[in-house]
Amino acid sequence: MQQEERLKIIMQLLHERTRLTTREIAEHFAISFDTARRDVIKLTATGQAMRIHGGLMAINQQDVPDFLARSQIQSPLKKKMAQVAKKFIHQGDLAYIGPSTTLQLLCQLLNGEDLTVVTNSIDNALALLASPLPKVKLLAGDLAKDNRWTYSAAALASLKLMRPNIALVGTSLVRQDGIYLPNSKDAELIRTATTRARKVVVIAEKFKFINENNSPFLATSLDKIDVLITDVSLPDEYRTWFNPRTQIISGSRKE
């Protein structure tokens, strides 16, 4: 059995049991402990499950985990995706960077760069404190404490007066008509940023194309996306959703 098939079955088992040990996975598939451990690493690296001592714990697929829970998922692929995203940001740019655990890693990479970052993410702003540059414009407003971003009518109005060189945003769900978020205010701000920006870069792991979490609010349509950065190569089924001009890049190699 190929790894992709095992991963689907493991996710089904997690849905039923909530927790699985690496030993249980090895016994279920009659595979070596090392092979089972690689399956555990694959699922946690892509954010589909939470790694715990000795195995895996399910992430509620109906609800999007809050920012702090997601930030505990240590993924080398997220770091690679952040490194790819950095290549699209240039000296002197005005860059909108939205809330996202991967984009927080990107902000860490931008310290010392001569540009201006606009964000409504508390964690992005904190990640940019290590150096006098880049300049940071933190959009003010009410604080969503669970996901650590701000929103206000004034922030939205301010963003509408900007023309960012680039907007880099995350998503919790990808469907054929667009990217979706669980909160209407967050989606409205992202929608404004992607409408105003000259270039739109979206960060989305492969599992966000297939999960069923509760993210009902459209943030932007797929035809507005210039660059899609994923963790692994996308099947042709999903590639056909995008405009032919959209550049699709995985964290490990250019597509």
Would you state the pLDDT for residue 71? 47
Instruction: Give residue-wise pLDDT tens across range 57-75.
Output: 887 554 444 444 444 455 6
For the chain, the domains span 3-59, 71-250
pTM over 0.85: no
* Average pLDDT of span 193-202: 98
Fold entry, domain 3-59:
Arc Repressor Mutant, subunit A (1.10.10)
Which overall architecture, per CATH, does domain 71-250 show? 3-Layer(aba) Sandwich (3.40)
Percent of the chain with pLDDT over 70: 91
Sheet holding 200-203, edge to edge: 135-138, 116-119, 94-97, 166-170, 200-203, 227-230, 247-250
Helices 22-29 + 3-17 axis angle, to 10: 120
pLDDT surpasses 90 at 169: yes
pLDDT surpasses 80 at 159: yes
Residue type, 77: L
* Average pLDDT of span 79-94: 96
Helices 76-86 + 101-109 axis angle, to 10: 60
Rounded to whole angstroms, how far apart are CA atoms 145 and 147?
6
Question: Any idea what DSSP says for residue 140?
Answer: P
